[in-house]
């Protein structure tokens, strides 16, 4: 299976469990890897046949802008579920990082995988 990816998508989020975190915007970083059969778009050269990474990124930004998340785990799960349902992605890996959240580290976060990586599209 082929992979479509978005790396280092940075945005401000309302995320965190502490009261002070609920009042501020914090930087987060999102990476996406999504399984997709790219043979059809490669043959057609038509954006309609692709898993449009711009559409995926916009969906993630909307999810982040519209909701406060207590945990990065919930945000990662929401991203995975939404992209799988809305874009019909059979497998996804989502990484959500909070730069500077732990003193002494550059970033902390979670990485999750959902779906079937071995999925094959019918041709």
What is the reported pLDDT for 100? Answer: 84
Provide the phi-psi class of 77: left if phi over 0, else alpha when psi is between -120 and 50, else beta: alpha
pTM: 0.92
Which domain, by its residues, includes 35? 2-115
Catalytic residue chosen out of the listed positions 22, 27, 48, 98: 98
Annotate 38-84 with DSSP letters as a single string.
-HHHHHH--GGGS--HHHHHHHHHHHHHH--BS-HHHHHHHHHHHHH
* Domain-located, residue 26: yes
Active site residue 22: no
The two tokens of residue 1 are 């299976």
The two tokens of residue 59 are 């969906």
* Domain-located, residue 122: no
The mean pLDDT of 12-28, rounded to a whole number, is: 93
CATH assignment of the domain containing 91: 3.30.1130.10
- Structural domain count of the chain: 1
* Domain-located, residue 123: no
pLDDT tens per residue across span 62-76: 999 999 999 999 999
């Amino acid at each position: 299976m082929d992979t479509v990816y978005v790396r280092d998508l940075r945005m401000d989020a309302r995320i965190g469990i502490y009261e002070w975190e609920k009042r501020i915007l914090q930087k987060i970083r999102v990476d996406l890897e999504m399984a997709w059969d790219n043979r059809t778009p490669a043959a057609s050269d038509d954006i309609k046949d692709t898993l449009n990474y711009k559409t995926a990124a916009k969906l993630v930004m909307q999810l982040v802008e519209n909701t406060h998340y207590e945990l990065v785990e919930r945000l990662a799960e929401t991203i995975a579920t939404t992209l799988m349902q809305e874009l019909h992605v059979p497998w996804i890996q989502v990484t959500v990082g909070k730069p500077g959240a732990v003193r002494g580290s550059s970033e902390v976060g979670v990485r999750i995988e959902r779906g079937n990586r071995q999925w094959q599209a019918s041709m």
